[in-house]
Chains A and B, each alone.
Chain A
């Protein structure tokens, strides 16, 4: 059997809140740091052991070790921020990690006064701290690996680009100034011999740390390169942010237009339904012979008109229901018995099943009962699925509904031995107004809205719907419904 998941036709561009964007950026930075750590370790080993360049390898390994501890600390802090609102219980095996997390959290809270809520300020403060620390460690690394002689100095540029992407323009220029100060101080202290200069013997012909012109020239190029990098990266980042904001605005406008359209459809269909109700009621009086007998031809025409009005009313009803569901964000949620809802839905489909001699099986696990949701909608959804199954199952077939418990979920299955859905069309059956080609042959009239309503209700409840089918053999809808909790 081929299967497909429902795919809600949501607009792809969901606005990402600024704090989440920053948090993701902070995670990205921590990920990049792992690469840097590996790079430091491998680089030190290759340069010192294989290329035989004179490096203070012990100091560099110590820095790499420090970077590992520091990066774990950053990740702990970020994880904590991510789960700020959810208390995650410590499992026995994780006790050590949890204790470490708690200590880090307390210390960082004390020193950085980070708000436990995921605020933009808190995350950007962490990113600022991370970049400051990275710049400082890079300077220390540079000091132990040749100072101004080491081409590693260009790696400061990476931090400037990262700062420009993640932070405000002011913050990124401040970070650039900090980098320039650190590098300048390192060059000055080594030049003045206030700190030792570790010459990269074997890499440069002679020590350059005390070559005045070389030091000044490198410092000048370094400073201009850092500020230019920040300027360019900021220029690009700002343009990207503007484009993103424009897309978000367009997305909001599209949603608003969609809402206005839905309200329009709702108003128009409601008015149409009012007129249709009167037409149907009037025709029902005549077809019911309440106004006296009719000639055979008149009776036949009136009967046809009445049948059409019934179909039109059911279409308008489905359209009204779908539009009303699309327009309302919240339903009337409460705790109710899913068992009762299923039984009511089975009751509603029973007569139609009997008319076609279809066996309607119902198997509900004893543990399935109360869930939190909109009872009316859920019952309507199950009824829709059952009536659909009965409609497209030939005489003497079987329709089976089952429900079972799966921890915090209820798994509901509606399976039939009906005409099935062609493989190519499986992905479209939840689309509004779509009717499978074989369904149209069996039943000329149908709204094509029933499954769209079902999907909308499932998704409103945070659930999922899946369909498996084989043409000519039958169809199975599987619904995963969260039991939910009273808020």
Chain B
């Protein structure tokens, strides 16, 4: 019996490996995709309970674009998205304050890389426990 199925969309396989150990240790079933194309394919094939996503992969903003696409699609708009990225200091944009904005950053949670295992687990649990909504709840 697993707590939930999580898809990680991140182009760093080493980081994904570390995240997998943390999440699987808390009995989550984890799959991963290295880019947004593979990510979308996996979502369509098997809808996950939560998506953990990086921002900068093949382009500097494909994570943003994918999250907007998902939130526009009625089939997937209910999947909570946790953005886990180090892009904030690169761009200087205060994502923590804008996360949840349906126009700008329609995600349910935002964490800065690197993240402490317990902080990640707490956030994942919060998002999966049904508290999440499409508002700014970070």
Contact = CB atoms under 8 A, between A and B. Distances in A.
Contacts of B22: 281, 284-285, 288, 290
Contact of B15 (A281, A313, A317, A376): A281
Interface string A305-333: 00000000100010011001101100010
B18 to A, nearest CB: 4
A249 to B, nearest CB: 29
B21 A270 contact: no
Interface string A270-302: 100110111011101100101100000000000
Contact of B92 (A285, A288, A313, A328): A328
Interface in B5-35: 12, 14-15, 17-19, 21-22, 25
A324 B89 contact: yes
B90 A285 contact: no
A282 B18 contact: yes
A279 to B, nearest CB: 8
Contacts of B17: 282
B94 A273 contact: no
A197 interface: no
Interface stretch (B39-47, B62-70, B114-122, B127-135): B114-122
Contact of B89 (A280, A285, A321, A332): A321
A266 interface: yes
Contacts of B94: 332, 376
Interface in B96-136: 97, 113-118
A194 B86 CA distance: 89
B89 A317 contact: yes
A375 interface: yes
B89 A291 contact: no
Interface string A360-376: 00000000000000011
Contact of A285 (B18, B91, B97): B18
A278 B25 contact: no
Given A277-B15, A281-B18, A281-B19, A270 B114 contact: no
A290 B89 contact: no
Interface residues of B, number: 23
Contacts of A280: 114
A276 B117 CA distance: 15
Most buried by A among B25, B89, B113, B118: B89
B9 to A, nearest CB: 16
Contacts of B14: 278, 282
Contacts of B114: 276-278, 280-281, 284, 313
A277 B89 contact: no
A75 to B, nearest CB: 46
Contact of A270 (B19, B86, B117, B118): B86
B21 A278 contact: no
A418 to B, nearest CB: 28
Given A274-B12, A317-B89, A376 B97 contact: yes
B89 A375 contact: no
Nearest to B14: A278
Contacts of A278: 12, 14-15, 18, 114
Nearest to B90: A270
Contacts of A313: 114
A324 B89 CA distance: 7
B52 to A, nearest CB: 12
Nearest to A332: B94
A282 B15 CA distance: 7
A76 B69 CA distance: 63
Given A278-B15, A284-B116, A324 B92 contact: yes
30 contacts: A266-B90, A270-B86, A270-B89, A270-B90, A273-B86, A273-B113, A274-B12, A274-B86, A277-B114, A278-B12, A278-B14, A278-B15, A278-B114, A281-B15, A281-B22, A281-B113, A281-B115, A282-B18, A284-B22, A284-B117, A285-B18, A285-B117, A290-B21, A290-B22, A290-B117, A324-B90, A327-B92, A332-B93, A376-B94, A376-B97
